[in-house]
Every structure is written in C-alpha cells, then in structure tokens.
Structure 1
Amino acid sequence: MQTRHFIQLIAMSALWGASFPLLRIASPALGPWVVALTRCTLAAIVLSLLMSTLRGRWPPRSAWPHLTWVGLLSVVIPFVLFNWAALIIPSGYSAVLNATAPLFGVMAAALAGEEKLTRVRLLGCVVGFAGVALLVQLGPVAVTPMVILAALACVVASASYGFGAIQMKRATMAHSPLPSSAVVHITGALILLVPGGIAAPAAVLTPGAVAAVLVLGTLTSGFMYWISMRLMREIPASATTSAAFMIPLFGVTWGGLFLGEPVTASMLPGCILVLSATALITGFNPFRSAPPEP
C-alpha cells in the first residue's frame, strides 16, 4: 500500500467516524428521512459537479438498475437506519456497531460463491455478535427495548453495507468510480424523495442541524464515497476493510469531545470483541508484513 492510500484511509475513517456525532445533531431536528434525503441530494450534486468539471461520462442506461440496487443497499437503507438510531443511542455505539459491516461482507461473499466461510470466520461471526451484545449491555446507556431496537437497526444497516459492498465492487470494476458514485446517490435521492417529502413539514431547521447535514452530504457521502470507490480499484480488499477498524475509534472520540457523550471503560470489552471478530472474519492482520509492490 502506498502512502497516499494510507492517508486516504485515515481521512475516510476520520470523516466517516465524524458522521455519527453529526447524525446525533441533525436527526433530532430534521428527522431521519429528511436527513437521509438531504444527504443523498447534496452528495449527488457534489458528485455531478465533479463529473462536469472532470468531464466524466455517465454510465449507460443499462447499468442504472444495478447502480440503483447498489444505492439501496449502500446508501438508502443504512442512512435511514443509522439516522433513526441516532435519536436513541450515543454516536459511539453506532460507530462501533458499524464495524460489523465487514462481517456481513464476508458472509455475503460466501453466499455469492466468491469466498469460503471457514471455521475461523464462523467463529468471528459468533464473537462479533457477542461483542455487540456486550457493548449494549455494559455501555453507559441503560438497556431498554428502544436501545435494543436502535442497536439492531445499526446491525441491519451494517449488514446492508456489507452486502452492498459486493455489488459496489462489481460496479467499480464495470464503470468508473465517479460516475458510479453519482448515479448511486441520484437514484438514492429519488427513492427517498417521497418519504423525505412527507416528513419534511416536521423538520426543525437549526444552525447546528443544517451545518451537520451539509458536512454529511458534501464530505462524508459525496467526496469520500468517490474516494472509497476509487480505493476499491487500487488496493486489496483486506486493506480497504482496515478503515472499518478505525471508524469506531474516531466515532467514540468525536462523540466524547464534541457532544460530551460518556466514554467508559465498560465499553472496552465490547469494542475489542467487535474489532477482533472483524479481524478474524476478514483475515486482516496489522502485524503481517505486506508483500513488496511491483
């Protein structure tokens, strides 16, 4: 991996980790559906402007149904579920639960016949879900039915990310990353248009919420999504999953620093189990020597 790739991974992790505290600011004021719609729309605008500036070519019409499916799995479902969870649980919880996405990615690859689901990976699945349960049980928030539902929403959102990753990988190999990213967010915004429009009258425009959703749409969804799709073409899959390991660190840190969310030692065992499970399933080893680049 080249230095620029590593820097991009750090930047992606920092910004994606920041998205969880930003959701805690935006969702209570604007509502989950409006935040998702606005985020997708802003990302689509940013990516379309980049397309125009760089003179990119739109994918053929025949590719749009598949890219719409990518958008549903990788954008619409996760956005709405994480937005709703942000109404209930701290951003650090959501960030750690998001680290289960690679677990589902490997399971999806096994179901698609692209990878084998070995005993080590099965063990990783068990450890991962145990970590999720431990995090919810020992964290600073009292366990209630709504907290459990919010945690489950994050897990389902992460599963959607994981299953969508396979489709996204196929899209990046068939089409250029920038046009693919633009279409994914355009179709995602169209899917969210009706529910977002229905929920819009209840939204309360506050300076903090507006600023948060602007950052979410332009940076974490627009620019960074394009960067992530470019990275998928340039570095191994095991390297791209390392971003998921760093997101919880940034998510918990940003939530503690800027929102004053409690960060307790009791959260550590759950975090360790989730990250260990992700490493088991993906085969990622930070201490393994990388082969020399050609």
Structure 2
Amino acid sequence: MQTRHFAQLIALSALWGASFPFIRIASPALGPWGVAGLRCVLAALVLSVLMRVLRNHWPARGAWPLLLMLSLLTVVAPFVLFSWAGLILPAGYSAVLNATVPLFGVLAAALAGEERLTARRLLGCLVGFAGVALLVQLGPVAVSREVLLAALACIAASACYGCGAILMKRATMAHQPLPASAAVHVAAALVLLLPAAASAPAMRPTSGALLAVATLGIVTSGFMYWISMRLMREIPASAATSSAFMIPLFGVTWGSLFLDEPVTSGMLPGCVLVLAATALVTGFNPFRSVPPEP
C-alpha cells in the first residue's frame, strides 16, 4: 500500500470515528429514521451539486438496480441501525463494534468465491465475536436486553458494510466514483423518504442535533463516501475495509473528549480481541514495513 493510500485511510478512520458521537447527539432529538433520512438527503444534494459542477454524467438506467442494492447495504441499513443503537449505546461501543466490518467482508468474499476462507481467518472470526461479547459484558454500560439488541444492531450494520464492500469494489470498476456515490445516496434518500417523513412529528430538533446531522450528511456521508470509492478503485476491498481497524481508537477518543463517555479498563480485553481478530482475518500486520511509493 502506498503512503498516500495509508494516509487517506487514517483520515477516513478519524472522520468516520467522529460520526459515532454525532449520531449519539442527533438520534435522541431526530430519531433513527430522521437521522438516516436527513443525512442521505444532504449527501445526495452535495454530491449532485458536485456532479453538475464537474460535469459528470449519471449512471445509465440499467446500472441503477445494482446501485440500489449497494445503497441498501452500505447506506440505508447501516445508517438506520447505527442511529437506533445510538439511542442506547455510547459512541465508543458502536465504534468498536464497527471494527467487525473486515470480518464480515472476508466471510462475504469467501462465499462469493473471491477469497479463500483459511483456518487463520476462521479463527479470526471466532476471536472477533468473542471480543464483542467481552466488550458488551465488561464495558461501563450495564448489560440489558436493550444493550444486547443495540449491540446486535451494530453488528448487523457492520455485516452490511462488509458484504457491501464487494459490491462497492465492483461498482468502482464499472462507474466513476462521483456518479456512483451520488446515485447511491439519491437512491437511499428516496428509500428513506417515507419512513423519515412518518417519524417527523416525533422529532424534537435542537441546534446541536441539526449541526450534527448536517456534518454527518455533508462530510461523512457525502464527501467521505466519494473519497472512499475513489480509494477503492486503487486498492483491494479488503485493504479498504482495514480502515475499520482504527475507527475504534478515534470513536472512543471523540466520545470521551466531547461526550464525557467513560472509558474503563474492562473495555480493553474486548477491544484487543476485536483488533487482533481483524488482523488475523485480513492478514494486516502493523509491524510490516510499508514499501515506499515508486
């Protein structure tokens, strides 16, 4: 991996890690459907404006079914699930659970026949889920039915991201990143329009919540999705999902700094196991020297 690619992965991790505190701020005021719907509408608007400014062409009509599937897996389902979990779990919890994305990515690639599921990768999956169980059990939040359901929602969202990475890689080979990103978010906005509108009467918007959802829509859902698709054109999908390794670090840090969320020693074993699992599954070695750019 070239130095510039690695730097982009770190930047993506820092910004995506910040999305969990923003979700935690916005969800109680706007509700899961409202947060997901508004951020998709904002992302679609921003990317559509960029399309016009840069004079890009929209994907052909025949490409939209695949882009709709990509939208459901990498935008609609994860946004709703993480927003619902944000009503219950601290931002740091959700960020750590998001680190299971590469586990599901490798499993999906094996099922699709694109990668082989070795004993090391299978062991990594088992270690990863053990880490998730420890995190939920030993963290600062008391275990309850709601906490378990919220943790399962985060894992389901991560599974969607992991499986969607395969479709995302294929989409980057068939389309330019900006038109594909814009189409994905337009489709997501249309899917979420009715549920978000139905939940509008229950919304209690505040200035903080609106600022949070604006940042989510414009930055982490708009620009960052486009940048991630540009990056995925140049590196393997498994390498692209490795940004999930660093998201827990940023997510826990931002949650502690800005939301005063507790960080206890009990979270450490679960975090270590999740990160070790992702390294086993993907073959990522932080001590391996990175070759210089040619």
Q: Same fold (TM over 0.5)?
A: yes
Q: Check 1:238–1:76 CA distance in 2 against 1; reply closer, same or farther (3 A cut).
A: closer
Within 5 A, what are the aligned runs for 1:211-250?
211-250=211-250
TM superposition shift of 1:292: 5.3
Q: Is the 8 A contact 1:238 1:284 kept in 2?
A: no
Aligned to 1:93: 93
Give 1:63's aligned residue. Answer: 63
Change in 2 beyond 3 A, CA 1:198/1:210: same
2-structure distance, mates of 1:3, 1:107: 28
Cα displacement (A) at 1:251: 0.2
Aligned partner of residue 246 in structure 2, secondary structure: helix
Q: What SS is found at the alignment partner of 2:266?
A: helix
* 1:207 aligned residue: 207
1:84-135 CA-to-partner distances (Å, cap 9, x unmatched) read 0000010000000000011000000000000011100110010000000000
- Residue aligning to 2:183: 183
Please tell me the root mean square deviation across aligned C-alpha atoms, in Å: 1.1
User: Which structure 2 residues correspond to residues 110-189 of structure 1 after superposition, within 5 A?
Assistant: 110-189=110-189
Aligned partners of 1:18 and 1:78: how far apart in 2?
Answer: 16
Deviation at 1:149, TM superposition (A): 0.4
| 3-state SS in 2 of match to 1:241 | helix
Q: Give the whole-Å Cα distance in 2 for the aligned partners of 1:252 and 1:202.
A: 29
Name 1:105's counterpart in structure 2: 105
Q: Deviations over 1:235-281 (max 9, x none)?
A: 34453233111100000000000000001111011000001101111
1:39 — aligned with what? 39
1:9 Cα deviation from its structure 2 partner: 1.6
Q: Could you say which residue in structure 2 is the equivalent of 1:48?
A: 48
- 1:173-211 per-position Cα deviation (integer Å, ceiling 9, x unaligned): 110000000000000111111111100111111000000
Q: Is the CA contact 1:102–1:278 (under 8 Å) kept in the aligned structure 2?
A: yes
Residue 72 (structure 1) aligns with: 72
Structure 1's consecutive aligned runs of 4 or more residues displaced over 6 angstroms after TM superposition are none
Render the CA deviation track for 1:28-84: whole Å, top value 9, x for unaligned. 000000100001010011111111111111111100110000000000000000000
How far does residue 14 in structure 1 lie from its aligned partner after superposition? 0.8
Shift of 1:144: 0.4
In structure 1, what is the equivalent of residue 286 of structure 2?
Answer: 286
CA distance in 1: counterparts of 2:204 and 2:150, whole angstroms: 22
SS at match of 2:141: coil
- The structural deviation recorded for 1:10 is 1.8
Give the gaps of 5 or more residues in structure 1: none
Alignment partner of 1:193 is 2:189 = no
How many aligned residue pairs are there? Answer: 294
CA contact (8 A) 1:27 1:87 kept: yes
- 1:251 aligns to what? 251
2:74 is equivalent to residue 84 of structure 1: no
